[in-house]
A and B are shown apart, each in its own frame.
Chain A
Amino acid sequence: MNIENLIQISETEWEIPTYTRSDMRVPVKLFATREMLEQVINDKCLDQAINATTLPGLVGHVIVMPDMHQGYGFPIGGVAATEYPHGVISSGAIGYDINCGVRLLGSSIDFESARGEMDHLATLLNKYCPSGVGKEGAIKLNLKELDQVLRDGSRWALKNGYATEADLARTEESGSLEGADPNKVSDRAKERGREQIGSVGAGNHFIEVDVVDQIFNEEGANVMGVYQGCLVLQIHCGSRGLGHQVCTDYVQSFQNAVHKYDITLPDRELVCAPMDSPEGKAYMAAMRAAANFAFANRQLLAHSARRAFEETFAPQTRKWHLHQVYDIAHNMGKLETHLIAGKEVKVCVHRKGATRAFGPGSPGLPPEYQKIGQPVIIPGSMGTASWVLVGTEDSMTRSFGSSCHGAGRVMSRSQAKKEVEGHSLRRELENKGIKVRAGSLPGLAEEAPSAYKDVDMVVETVSDAGIAKKVARLKPVAVIKG
């Protein structure tokens, strides 16, 4: 792929037209600057975006966000909408970590007065929020309880004292997707999930304490309870082994479904089935169950994080509480209604490494966010900033109500391993005043800030493109990684 083959629409919007390859059903729309495209042109993400345009039933464009990079099958940063009910749902286009997402909790704890407690806080967060390879979670569920989690998500957490009504109101879909069916989740997936609920996992997942560094939108920040100079907490994780197994099971079974429905695809990882087929319905129900597990997982971790904050700060201040700002998914398939060519169309929006970013007045937002739009949380890369944005009216019409999901990798893991040494990186971060708790130093090295794009540039791009608006910039002060 060559940049000169793309059609430039504006400084931040490009198109790959359908005549680029004969099997494309729709064009690709890229939100990126020229500089960002140059960074990824040798990565395979643009080819993967073209492959994604071959999914049956697509409407509009396949959209790719500025944090785009090579994934497997579908590009990271990709969004694709298929018409309901005859269009397809693709398990590979949602990914193995179903409902991987981010939760942001705000506080009124002033960082300067809390600075001396950060080491202790990091230790407690590390103790109460298990992370790392295959780590067991905070609680162990029996199979009946697990089925309740799969059906009810965060509502299960509320019933069992791990959540508040306010937490659920400020969670995408209130933390509970309708239509989840535990019977469509395999016994093996359940076995993997039963002991892992309430755990972070490994890879790029983390818990991070940040300080609010800059406010760009006073009204938005006040409504969210994000205050200049105060601490906030991010939780980034997903559905753990349960979600990985659900995707593995259905990618396997869809290998037969594509033959049955005579679907030809350029990559077997993109396998799919019509939404109204028995296979498509079964996956949708299982995917929703895994998504509910992920919502409940982040809710349990929030509960554990609150315990760490209480033990650290309650002896000194009455204002130690962590309130929910928002919880959003960035790997999910959702049935939504969007305006396409002037007509309201019900579609399944596949987001893979892309965040829902609904604008003001959109359905499903709590009353306080109806005016400002849905909070969009963009985690950075340990040593760098993270961002809080809001969705816009433009995102609704131009990107199926979606925005970017993070900084996006730019360096391969093998290269990061060669260039970065875990001990040195930890020292470097500690020298910047960031407390680090890491289970695996080689794992930490692969997630080095230098392996990621400049998150500020990614955010400027979505902001300039008009598909999200800046609210606040966050600076990390403690990172817990598996």
Chain B
Amino acid sequence: MGFEELSHTADWSARIWAEDLPSLFVEAARAMNSLSGTVAGNGPRLTQSFGAEAPDAESLLVAFLSELLYFQEQKDLTFDKFELRVAGQWLKVEMEGTQIASSEKAIKAVTYHNLRIEKTNEGFEVTIVFDV
């Protein structure tokens, strides 16, 4: 399980890999936080639920990360603990997080650019381009 930043002229791109689909989603959330330099504060912990229905796993991933962006921008919240279930066209997430202490840069959106979740020998892999 891990991620690496890839070179992109205008935006940010990250390759993410994990042993199963839920872990891939969680690692993608970690990658996004790392790229935007988001640091969690020491305030009270809070929980949030999220569910989505979409035609495929890629769309569920975009929906999940877009939801996190919304909380980051609009509510100043970042999440670092997830219980996540992906089943066919459904995603259900219970997440735990806290107020953001600081954030260095803004991500405008999660794109579908060449977005393909690939099955590998070790599990799953995806490359995501974020609009900044």
A residues lining the B interface (CB < 8 Å): 43, 45, 69-73, 76, 92, 95-97, 132-134, 188, 191-192, 201-203, 241, 244-245, 247-248, 251-252, 255-256, 259, 267-269, 271, 409-415, 440, 442-443, 446, 482
Contacts and interface: CB of A to CB of B under 8 A. Distances in A.
B35 to A, nearest CB: 9
A409 B104 contact: no
Prevailing SS type, chain B contact patch: loop
A252 B59 contact: yes
B44 interface: no
B9 A410 contact: yes
Contact of B115 (A202, A268, A409, A411): A268
Contacts of B109: 96, 244, 247-248
Contacts of A446: 105
B55 to A, nearest CB: 6
A95 B74 contact: no
Interface in B38-93: 54-55, 58-59, 62-63, 66, 70, 72-74, 76
B123 interface: no
Interface residues of B, number: 37
Given A95-B131, A134-B74, A191-B74, A73 B9 contact: no
A245 B62 CA distance: 12
26 contacts: A43-B9, A71-B10, A72-B113, A92-B111, A97-B108, A132-B106, A133-B73, A133-B104, A133-B105, A134-B72, A134-B103, A191-B74, A247-B109, A248-B109, A252-B54, A252-B63, A255-B55, A267-B114, A268-B113, A269-B112, A269-B113, A409-B10, A412-B7, A412-B8, A413-B8, A443-B105
Contacts of A69: 9-10
Contacts, number: 116
Interface of B: 5-12, 36-37, 54-55, 58-59, 62-63, 66, 70, 72-74, 76, 103-106, 108-115, 129, 131-132
B34 to A, nearest CB: 12
Contacts of B55: 255-256, 259
A440 B104 contact: yes
B11 A72 contact: yes
Nearest to B66: A248
A382 to B, nearest CB: 16
A72 B74 contact: no
B131 A412 contact: no
Contacts of B9: 43, 45, 69-70, 409-412
Given A244-B108, A251-B112, A442-B37, A413 B12 contact: yes
B74 A241 contact: yes
A133 B132 contact: no
Among all A-B residue pairs, the 3 with the closest Cβ atoms:
A72-B113, A268-B112, A202-B106
Nearest to B10: A409
Contacts of A440: 104-105
A256 B11 CA distance: 26
B97 to A, nearest CB: 16
B72 A202 contact: no
A269 B111 contact: yes
